[in-house]
Structure 1
Amino acid sequence: MLKVWHTIWKKPKTKILISLLALGTIFLTMSAFVQPNISDNANLLDRQTRQLIQEKNNRYWQTKEQPQIAVITVKRLNKLTPRKLNATKRICYIVVGAKGKKRNVQIFSSKDLHGAFTADTRMNILRAAANDLRSPQKATFNKGLRLVFRACATKIDQQYQYAFDKYDLTNEEQDRISHPHRVALPLALALAVIVMALIYFLGRVRKQKND
Protein backbone atom coordinates (compact mmCIF):
# COMPACT_ATOMS: atom_id res chain seq x y z
CA MET A 1 0.00 0.00 0.00
CA LEU A 2 2.83 2.38 0.88
CA LYS A 3 4.57 1.57 -2.39
CA VAL A 4 1.40 2.38 -4.35
CA TRP A 5 1.02 5.73 -2.55
CA HIS A 6 4.68 6.53 -3.09
CA THR A 7 4.29 5.81 -6.81
CA ILE A 8 1.22 8.06 -7.06
CA TRP A 9 2.90 10.88 -5.14
CA LYS A 10 5.88 10.84 -7.50
CA LYS A 11 3.64 11.79 -10.44
CA PRO A 12 3.86 15.59 -11.09
CA LYS A 13 0.15 15.98 -11.83
CA THR A 14 -0.75 14.32 -8.55
CA LYS A 15 1.54 16.67 -6.62
CA ILE A 16 -0.04 19.69 -8.28
CA LEU A 17 -3.57 18.44 -7.58
CA ILE A 18 -2.85 17.76 -3.91
CA SER A 19 -1.17 21.15 -3.54
CA LEU A 20 -4.19 22.89 -5.06
CA LEU A 21 -6.55 21.02 -2.76
CA ALA A 22 -4.46 22.04 0.24
CA LEU A 23 -4.47 25.69 -0.83
CA GLY A 24 -8.21 25.53 -1.42
CA THR A 25 -8.77 24.15 2.06
CA ILE A 26 -6.67 26.93 3.60
CA PHE A 27 -8.55 29.57 1.58
CA LEU A 28 -11.96 28.27 2.62
CA THR A 29 -10.88 28.10 6.24
CA MET A 30 -9.65 31.68 6.19
CA SER A 31 -12.71 32.88 4.28
CA ALA A 32 -14.93 31.79 7.14
CA PHE A 33 -13.40 34.61 9.19
CA VAL A 34 -13.47 37.26 6.46
CA GLN A 35 -16.12 39.97 6.60
CA PRO A 36 -16.48 41.05 2.95
CA ASN A 37 -18.98 43.81 3.75
CA ILE A 38 -16.77 45.49 6.33
CA SER A 39 -13.53 47.36 5.73
CA ASP A 40 -12.73 49.23 8.94
CA ASN A 41 -9.39 50.83 8.18
CA ALA A 42 -10.08 53.73 10.56
CA ASN A 43 -11.06 51.39 13.43
CA LEU A 44 -14.40 53.11 14.07
CA LEU A 45 -16.89 50.25 14.17
CA ASP A 46 -17.93 48.62 17.43
CA ARG A 47 -19.12 45.05 17.93
CA GLN A 48 -22.83 45.91 17.75
CA THR A 49 -22.42 47.71 14.43
CA ARG A 50 -20.39 44.87 12.95
CA GLN A 51 -23.00 42.37 14.04
CA LEU A 52 -25.79 44.39 12.44
CA ILE A 53 -23.90 44.62 9.14
CA GLN A 54 -23.13 40.92 9.01
CA GLU A 55 -26.55 39.66 10.06
CA LYS A 56 -28.48 41.82 7.61
CA ASN A 57 -26.16 41.00 4.72
CA ASN A 58 -26.37 37.30 5.57
CA ARG A 59 -30.13 37.57 5.10
CA TYR A 60 -29.59 39.23 1.75
CA TRP A 61 -27.42 36.31 0.62
CA GLN A 62 -30.49 34.10 1.00
CA THR A 63 -32.52 36.12 -1.53
CA LYS A 64 -32.62 35.80 -5.30
CA GLU A 65 -31.17 39.26 -5.97
CA GLN A 66 -28.54 39.10 -3.19
CA PRO A 67 -28.09 42.85 -2.66
CA GLN A 68 -25.42 43.96 -0.22
CA ILE A 69 -24.59 46.92 2.02
CA ALA A 70 -20.88 47.51 2.50
CA VAL A 71 -19.51 49.73 5.26
CA ILE A 72 -16.06 51.17 4.67
CA THR A 73 -14.01 53.46 6.91
CA VAL A 74 -10.89 55.24 5.68
CA LYS A 75 -8.34 57.60 7.21
CA ARG A 76 -9.14 60.62 5.03
CA LEU A 77 -12.01 63.05 4.58
CA ASN A 78 -12.12 63.30 0.79
CA LYS A 79 -12.05 60.99 -2.24
CA LEU A 80 -14.54 58.62 -0.63
CA THR A 81 -16.13 57.23 -3.80
CA PRO A 82 -15.58 53.44 -3.86
CA ARG A 83 -13.37 52.10 -6.61
CA LYS A 84 -15.19 50.52 -9.56
CA LEU A 85 -18.51 51.83 -8.25
CA ASN A 86 -20.02 51.97 -11.74
CA ALA A 87 -19.10 48.34 -12.35
CA THR A 88 -21.01 47.02 -9.34
CA LYS A 89 -24.62 45.86 -9.11
CA ARG A 90 -27.15 45.69 -6.27
CA ILE A 91 -24.85 47.22 -3.70
CA CYS A 92 -24.99 50.21 -1.38
CA TYR A 93 -21.85 51.68 0.17
CA ILE A 94 -21.69 53.59 3.43
CA VAL A 95 -18.26 55.22 3.47
CA VAL A 96 -16.87 56.97 6.53
CA GLY A 97 -13.91 59.29 6.17
CA ALA A 98 -12.06 60.04 9.39
CA LYS A 99 -9.21 62.38 10.24
CA GLY A 100 -8.62 63.29 13.85
CA LYS A 101 -12.00 64.04 15.40
CA LYS A 102 -13.61 64.94 12.07
CA ARG A 103 -15.97 62.55 10.30
CA ASN A 104 -17.42 62.57 6.80
CA VAL A 105 -20.13 59.99 6.12
CA GLN A 106 -21.34 59.44 2.56
CA ILE A 107 -23.77 57.02 0.91
CA PHE A 108 -23.13 55.60 -2.56
CA SER A 109 -25.02 53.04 -4.61
CA SER A 110 -24.66 51.09 -7.82
CA LYS A 111 -26.57 52.41 -10.83
CA ASP A 112 -29.41 49.93 -10.48
CA LEU A 113 -30.17 51.32 -7.00
CA HIS A 114 -30.09 55.01 -7.91
CA GLY A 115 -33.88 55.08 -7.82
CA ALA A 116 -33.86 53.98 -4.19
CA PHE A 117 -30.98 56.25 -3.21
CA THR A 118 -31.72 59.61 -4.77
CA ALA A 119 -29.76 62.67 -3.68
CA ASP A 120 -32.66 63.78 -1.45
CA THR A 121 -32.96 60.32 0.11
CA ARG A 122 -29.27 60.15 0.94
CA MET A 123 -29.30 63.68 2.35
CA ASN A 124 -32.35 62.97 4.53
CA ILE A 125 -30.81 59.77 5.91
CA LEU A 126 -27.57 61.50 6.85
CA ARG A 127 -29.43 64.50 8.26
CA ALA A 128 -31.50 62.26 10.54
CA ALA A 129 -28.34 60.79 12.07
CA ALA A 130 -26.24 63.96 11.91
CA ASN A 131 -26.07 64.70 15.65
CA ASP A 132 -24.81 61.22 16.50
CA LEU A 133 -22.45 61.09 13.53
CA ARG A 134 -20.77 64.31 14.70
CA SER A 135 -20.08 62.91 18.16
CA PRO A 136 -16.44 62.21 19.10
CA GLN A 137 -17.71 59.37 21.31
CA LYS A 138 -17.35 56.03 19.55
CA ALA A 139 -20.55 54.58 21.02
CA THR A 140 -22.65 57.58 20.00
CA PHE A 141 -21.10 57.69 16.54
CA ASN A 142 -21.87 54.01 16.03
CA LYS A 143 -25.46 54.59 17.12
CA GLY A 144 -25.81 57.12 14.30
CA LEU A 145 -24.05 54.82 11.84
CA ARG A 146 -26.43 51.99 12.69
CA LEU A 147 -29.35 54.30 11.94
CA VAL A 148 -27.82 55.08 8.55
CA PHE A 149 -27.28 51.39 7.85
CA ARG A 150 -30.83 50.45 8.85
CA ALA A 151 -32.20 53.27 6.70
CA CYS A 152 -30.24 51.97 3.70
CA ALA A 153 -31.45 48.44 4.42
CA THR A 154 -35.04 49.67 4.54
CA LYS A 155 -34.64 51.35 1.14
CA ILE A 156 -33.23 48.15 -0.36
CA ASP A 157 -36.02 46.06 1.17
CA GLN A 158 -38.57 48.44 -0.33
CA GLN A 159 -36.81 48.33 -3.70
CA TYR A 160 -36.98 44.53 -3.90
CA GLN A 161 -40.24 44.23 -1.95
CA TYR A 162 -38.69 42.16 0.82
CA ALA A 163 -40.59 41.65 4.07
CA PHE A 164 -39.36 44.01 6.76
CA ASP A 165 -37.45 42.52 9.68
CA LYS A 166 -35.96 43.70 12.96
CA TYR A 167 -33.07 45.38 11.14
CA ASP A 168 -35.31 47.82 9.26
CA LEU A 169 -36.53 51.21 10.44
CA THR A 170 -39.72 51.57 12.42
CA ASN A 171 -42.61 53.51 10.85
CA GLU A 172 -41.79 56.47 13.08
CA GLU A 173 -38.13 56.45 12.03
CA GLN A 174 -39.10 56.19 8.36
CA ASP A 175 -41.45 59.14 8.70
CA ARG A 176 -38.77 61.20 10.43
CA ILE A 177 -36.34 60.55 7.56
CA SER A 178 -38.81 60.81 4.68
CA HIS A 179 -40.49 63.99 5.96
CA PRO A 180 -37.91 65.96 7.96
CA HIS A 181 -39.83 69.23 7.53
CA ARG A 182 -42.98 67.66 8.95
CA VAL A 183 -41.08 66.77 12.11
CA ALA A 184 -39.47 70.21 12.31
CA LEU A 185 -42.74 72.10 11.83
CA PRO A 186 -44.12 71.62 15.37
CA LEU A 187 -40.79 72.80 16.78
CA ALA A 188 -40.87 75.87 14.57
CA LEU A 189 -44.44 76.66 15.63
CA ALA A 190 -43.56 76.23 19.29
CA LEU A 191 -40.59 78.56 18.88
CA ALA A 192 -42.78 81.13 17.13
CA VAL A 193 -45.30 81.03 20.00
CA ILE A 194 -42.52 81.54 22.54
CA VAL A 195 -41.10 84.50 20.60
CA MET A 196 -44.54 86.11 20.27
CA ALA A 197 -45.23 85.64 23.97
CA LEU A 198 -41.87 87.17 24.83
CA ILE A 199 -42.54 90.18 22.59
CA TYR A 200 -45.96 90.64 24.18
CA PHE A 201 -44.51 90.40 27.69
CA LEU A 202 -41.73 92.91 26.96
CA GLY A 203 -44.29 95.25 25.42
CA ARG A 204 -46.43 95.11 28.56
CA VAL A 205 -43.41 95.77 30.77
CA ARG A 206 -42.37 98.77 28.67
CA LYS A 207 -45.91 100.15 28.71
CA GLN A 208 -46.11 99.87 32.50
CA LYS A 209 -42.83 101.75 32.86
CA ASN A 210 -44.09 104.55 30.62
CA ASP A 211 -47.28 104.83 32.67
Structure 2
Amino acid sequence: MWKAWLINLKKTKISLLWLVGLVAVFLTTTGFIQDNIEDNLHLLNKETKTLITEKNNRYFQTKEQPQITVITVKRLNKLTPKALDHSKRSVFIVVGQKGKKRNVQIFSTKDLHGAFTADTRANILRAEVNKLRSNNKNTFNEGLRFVFRACATRVDQQYQYALDKYDLTSAEQNKISHPHSVALPIALALAFLIMGIVYVLKKFGHRNISSPK
Protein backbone atom coordinates (compact mmCIF):
# COMPACT_ATOMS: atom_id res chain seq x y z
CA MET A 1 0.00 0.00 0.00
CA TRP A 2 2.80 2.39 0.93
CA LYS A 3 4.64 1.51 -2.29
CA ALA A 4 1.53 2.19 -4.39
CA TRP A 5 1.09 5.56 -2.70
CA LEU A 6 4.68 6.54 -3.57
CA ILE A 7 4.15 5.51 -7.20
CA ASN A 8 0.96 7.58 -7.43
CA LEU A 9 2.76 10.56 -5.83
CA LYS A 10 5.58 10.28 -8.35
CA LYS A 11 3.12 10.16 -11.25
CA THR A 12 1.26 13.18 -9.87
CA LYS A 13 4.54 15.10 -9.52
CA ILE A 14 5.51 14.35 -13.12
CA SER A 15 2.08 15.45 -14.35
CA LEU A 16 2.34 18.72 -12.43
CA LEU A 17 5.80 19.39 -13.88
CA TRP A 18 4.47 18.81 -17.40
CA LEU A 19 1.53 21.13 -16.71
CA VAL A 20 3.80 23.89 -15.37
CA GLY A 21 6.06 23.48 -18.39
CA LEU A 22 3.18 23.76 -20.83
CA VAL A 23 1.86 26.89 -19.08
CA ALA A 24 5.33 28.47 -19.20
CA VAL A 25 5.65 27.75 -22.94
CA PHE A 26 2.17 29.16 -23.56
CA LEU A 27 2.94 32.36 -21.65
CA THR A 28 6.25 32.79 -23.45
CA THR A 29 4.89 32.30 -26.95
CA THR A 30 1.77 34.38 -26.49
CA GLY A 31 3.38 37.28 -24.65
CA PHE A 32 1.19 37.10 -21.55
CA ILE A 33 4.13 37.48 -19.17
CA GLN A 34 4.12 41.28 -19.29
CA ASP A 35 1.72 43.87 -20.63
CA ASN A 36 3.58 46.16 -23.02
CA ILE A 37 0.64 48.47 -23.73
CA GLU A 38 -0.87 50.94 -21.25
CA ASP A 39 -3.12 53.05 -23.45
CA ASN A 40 -4.90 55.13 -20.83
CA LEU A 41 -5.92 57.77 -23.42
CA HIS A 42 -7.00 55.32 -26.14
CA LEU A 43 -4.62 56.91 -28.65
CA LEU A 44 -3.26 53.70 -30.18
CA ASN A 45 -4.93 52.08 -33.16
CA LYS A 46 -5.04 48.39 -34.00
CA GLU A 47 -1.99 48.45 -36.29
CA THR A 48 0.17 50.06 -33.62
CA LYS A 49 -0.96 47.62 -30.92
CA THR A 50 -0.26 44.67 -33.23
CA LEU A 51 3.26 45.93 -33.91
CA ILE A 52 4.00 46.35 -30.19
CA THR A 53 2.62 42.93 -29.30
CA GLU A 54 4.28 40.97 -32.12
CA LYS A 55 7.72 42.50 -31.67
CA ASN A 56 7.67 41.94 -27.90
CA ASN A 57 6.51 38.36 -28.44
CA ARG A 58 9.66 37.83 -30.48
CA TYR A 59 11.72 39.26 -27.66
CA PHE A 60 10.15 36.78 -25.23
CA GLN A 61 11.79 34.00 -27.24
CA THR A 62 15.31 35.37 -26.79
CA LYS A 63 17.78 34.79 -23.97
CA GLU A 64 17.85 38.43 -22.88
CA GLN A 65 14.11 39.07 -23.28
CA PRO A 66 14.25 42.86 -23.73
CA GLN A 67 10.96 44.72 -23.74
CA ILE A 68 9.57 47.90 -25.31
CA THR A 69 6.49 49.29 -23.56
CA VAL A 70 4.23 52.06 -24.85
CA ILE A 71 2.32 54.14 -22.30
CA THR A 72 -0.15 57.02 -22.77
CA VAL A 73 -1.01 59.32 -19.86
CA LYS A 74 -3.09 62.46 -19.30
CA ARG A 75 -0.29 64.89 -18.41
CA LEU A 76 2.59 66.66 -20.15
CA ASN A 77 5.33 66.40 -17.51
CA LYS A 78 6.59 63.84 -15.00
CA LEU A 79 6.42 61.14 -17.67
CA THR A 80 9.09 58.87 -16.17
CA PRO A 81 7.43 55.44 -15.77
CA LYS A 82 7.32 53.93 -12.29
CA ALA A 83 8.73 50.62 -13.53
CA LEU A 84 11.90 52.21 -14.92
CA ASP A 85 14.08 51.92 -11.79
CA HIS A 86 13.32 48.27 -11.07
CA SER A 87 13.35 47.00 -14.68
CA LYS A 88 16.14 45.63 -16.85
CA ARG A 89 16.64 45.55 -20.61
CA SER A 90 13.58 47.75 -21.09
CA VAL A 91 12.58 50.76 -23.16
CA PHE A 92 9.52 52.89 -22.42
CA ILE A 93 7.86 55.17 -24.96
CA VAL A 94 5.61 57.51 -23.00
CA VAL A 95 3.01 59.76 -24.64
CA GLY A 96 1.70 62.56 -22.48
CA GLN A 97 -1.28 64.56 -23.68
CA LYS A 98 -3.38 67.30 -22.15
CA GLY A 99 -5.85 69.12 -24.35
CA LYS A 100 -4.25 69.64 -27.76
CA LYS A 101 -0.69 69.59 -26.41
CA ARG A 102 1.35 66.39 -26.59
CA ASN A 103 4.75 65.32 -25.29
CA VAL A 104 6.46 62.10 -26.40
CA GLN A 105 9.51 60.84 -24.50
CA ILE A 106 11.76 57.77 -24.66
CA PHE A 107 13.17 56.21 -21.49
CA SER A 108 15.57 53.26 -21.16
CA THR A 109 16.93 51.26 -18.25
CA LYS A 110 20.58 51.73 -17.21
CA ASP A 111 21.76 48.66 -19.13
CA LEU A 112 20.54 50.25 -22.38
CA HIS A 113 21.82 53.79 -21.83
CA GLY A 114 24.62 53.19 -24.33
CA ALA A 115 22.11 52.42 -27.09
CA PHE A 116 19.77 55.26 -26.10
CA THR A 117 21.91 58.33 -25.53
CA ALA A 118 20.24 61.74 -25.24
CA ASP A 119 21.18 62.53 -28.85
CA THR A 120 19.83 59.21 -30.11
CA ARG A 121 16.50 59.67 -28.37
CA ALA A 122 16.20 63.27 -29.59
CA ASN A 123 17.00 62.29 -33.19
CA ILE A 124 14.41 59.49 -33.16
CA LEU A 125 11.68 61.84 -31.96
CA ARG A 126 12.78 64.68 -34.26
CA ALA A 127 12.60 62.43 -37.34
CA GLU A 128 8.79 62.23 -37.12
CA VAL A 129 7.99 65.27 -34.99
CA ASN A 130 5.24 66.56 -37.31
CA LYS A 131 3.36 63.25 -37.23
CA LEU A 132 3.76 62.95 -33.47
CA ARG A 133 2.16 66.39 -33.05
CA SER A 134 -0.69 65.66 -35.45
CA ASN A 135 -4.26 65.67 -34.13
CA ASN A 136 -5.17 63.05 -36.72
CA LYS A 137 -5.13 59.69 -34.95
CA ASN A 138 -3.86 57.69 -37.94
CA THR A 139 -1.10 60.18 -38.70
CA PHE A 140 -0.02 60.23 -35.06
CA ASN A 141 0.07 56.43 -34.99
CA GLU A 142 2.28 56.40 -38.09
CA GLY A 143 4.77 58.56 -36.24
CA LEU A 144 4.52 56.47 -33.08
CA ARG A 145 5.13 53.24 -35.01
CA PHE A 146 8.26 54.81 -36.49
CA VAL A 147 9.48 55.66 -32.99
CA PHE A 148 8.74 52.13 -31.77
CA ARG A 149 10.51 50.56 -34.76
CA ALA A 150 13.48 52.87 -34.24
CA CYS A 151 13.72 51.77 -30.61
CA ALA A 152 13.41 48.13 -31.65
CA THR A 153 16.21 48.58 -34.17
CA ARG A 154 18.50 50.01 -31.48
CA VAL A 155 17.64 47.11 -29.15
CA ASP A 156 18.28 44.54 -31.89
CA GLN A 157 21.63 46.13 -32.70
CA GLN A 158 22.55 46.22 -29.01
CA TYR A 159 21.96 42.47 -28.59
CA GLN A 160 23.08 41.60 -32.11
CA TYR A 161 19.73 40.16 -33.12
CA ALA A 162 18.98 39.70 -36.81
CA LEU A 163 16.91 42.62 -38.08
CA ASP A 164 13.37 41.70 -39.15
CA LYS A 165 10.34 43.31 -40.78
CA TYR A 166 9.60 45.30 -37.63
CA ASP A 167 12.92 47.17 -37.76
CA LEU A 168 13.76 50.31 -39.72
CA THR A 169 15.06 50.12 -43.26
CA SER A 170 18.51 51.52 -44.11
CA ALA A 171 16.92 54.67 -45.53
CA GLU A 172 14.87 55.17 -42.38
CA GLN A 173 17.93 54.67 -40.20
CA ASN A 174 19.79 57.31 -42.23
CA LYS A 175 16.91 59.67 -41.53
CA ILE A 176 17.77 59.38 -37.84
CA SER A 177 21.56 59.25 -38.19
CA HIS A 178 21.64 62.39 -40.37
CA PRO A 179 18.77 64.57 -39.17
CA HIS A 180 20.19 67.66 -40.90
CA SER A 181 20.81 66.02 -44.29
CA VAL A 182 17.70 67.61 -45.78
CA ALA A 183 18.16 71.00 -44.14
CA LEU A 184 21.75 71.42 -45.38
CA PRO A 185 20.98 71.65 -49.14
CA ILE A 186 18.18 74.11 -48.39
CA ALA A 187 20.53 76.24 -46.32
CA LEU A 188 23.13 76.21 -49.09
CA ALA A 189 20.54 77.19 -51.69
CA LEU A 190 19.39 80.10 -49.53
CA ALA A 191 22.99 81.21 -49.05
CA PHE A 192 23.60 81.25 -52.81
CA LEU A 193 20.34 83.13 -53.35
CA ILE A 194 21.30 85.79 -50.80
CA MET A 195 24.76 86.13 -52.36
CA GLY A 196 23.16 86.58 -55.77
CA ILE A 197 20.82 89.30 -54.52
CA VAL A 198 23.71 91.14 -52.81
CA TYR A 199 25.78 90.95 -56.03
CA VAL A 200 22.94 92.33 -58.15
CA LEU A 201 22.26 95.17 -55.70
CA LYS A 202 25.92 96.11 -55.57
CA LYS A 203 26.22 96.03 -59.37
CA PHE A 204 23.19 98.25 -59.98
CA GLY A 205 24.16 100.52 -57.11
CA HIS A 206 27.60 101.02 -58.60
CA ARG A 207 26.08 101.86 -62.02
CA ASN A 208 23.77 104.44 -60.50
CA ILE A 209 26.68 106.16 -58.74
CA SER A 210 28.88 106.12 -61.89
CA SER A 211 26.21 107.41 -64.30
CA PRO A 212 26.45 111.15 -65.26
CA LYS A 213 23.90 113.59 -64.00
Identify the residue that residue 151 of structure 1 maps to in structure 2: 150
Conservation of the 8 A alpha-carbon contact between 1:91 and 1:113: yes
Letter in 2 for 1:162: Y
Superposition pairs of residues 29-68 of structure 1, within 5 angstroms: 36-68=35-67
Aligned mates of 2:192, 2:177 — CA distance in 1: 26
Indicate conservation of the 8 Å contact 2:90/2:109, yes or no: yes
Please, what TM-score do these two structures have when normalized by structure 1?
0.78
Segment drifting more, 159-168 vs 191-200: 191-200
The SS at the match of 2:82 is coil
> Does the alignment pair 1:91 with 2:97?
no
Q: Which residue of 1 aligns with 2:81?
A: 82
Unpaired segments of 5 or more residues in structure 2? 1-22
What CA distance in whole angstroms lies between the structure 1 residues aligned with 2:202 and 2:139? Answer: 44
Match of 2:9 in 1: none
**TM-score, scaled relative to structure 2:** 0.77
**Per the alignment, do residues 57 and 33 of structure 1 end up closer, same or farther by CA in structure 2, a change over 3 Å counting?**
closer
* 1:176–1:183 contact (8 Å) kept in structure 2: no
Moved more, 186-195 or 43-52: 186-195
Shift, 1:59, TM fit: 1.2
2:31–2:57 CA contact under 8 A, matched in 1: no
C-alpha displacement of 1:68: 0.8
The answer on whether the counterparts of 2:95 and 2:105 sit within 8 Å (CA) in structure 1 is yes
| 1:32 to 1:172, Cα distance in 2 relative to 1, 3 A | closer
* Cα pair 1:128 1:176 within 8 Å, conserved: yes
Q: Output aligned runs, 1:117-196, within 5 Å.
A: 117-196=116-195
Q: CA deviation at 1:142?
A: 1.1
C-alpha distance in 2 between matches for 1:204 and 1:77:
54
Deviation at 1:35, TM superposition (A): 7.7
How large is the Cα RMSD of the aligned pairs?
2.4
2:109 aligns with 110
Assess, with a 3 A threshold, how the Cα gap between structure 1 residues 142 and 207 changes in structure 2: closer, same or farther: farther
Distance 2:119 2:59 in 1: 25
Percentage of pairs with the same residue: 67
What residue identity is the alignment partner of 1:157?
D
CA offset digits 1:48-90 (Å, max 9, x no partner): 1111111111111111111110000001111100003111001
Code of the residue aligned with 2:81 in structure 1: it is P
* Displacement after TM superposition at 1:183 (Å): 3.9
Query: How far apart in 1 are the matches of 2:31 and 2:62?
Result: 20
Q: CA deviation at 1:131?
A: 1.3
Q: Distance in 2 between the 1:144 and 1:198 partners?
A: 39
- Any unmatched runs of 5+ in structure 1? 1-23
Residue 179 to residue 137, structure 1, CA distance change in 2 (3 Å): same
Separation in structure 1 between the aligned mates of residue 50 and residue 207 of structure 2, nearest angstrom: 65
Deviations 1:4-38 (A, max 9, x none): xxxxxxxxxxxxxxxxxxxx9xxx9xx98898111
Q: Which amino acid aligns with 1:178?
A: S
Q: In 1, Cα distance between the equivalents of 2:132 and 2:118?
A: 19
Does the 8 Å CA contact 2:31/2:56 hold for their aligned counterparts? Answer: no
* Alpha-carbon distance in 2 for matches of 1:39, 1:157: 23
Q: What secondary structure does 1:42 align onto?
A: coil
Letter in 1 for 2:104: V
Further displaced range: 49-58 or 90-99:
49-58
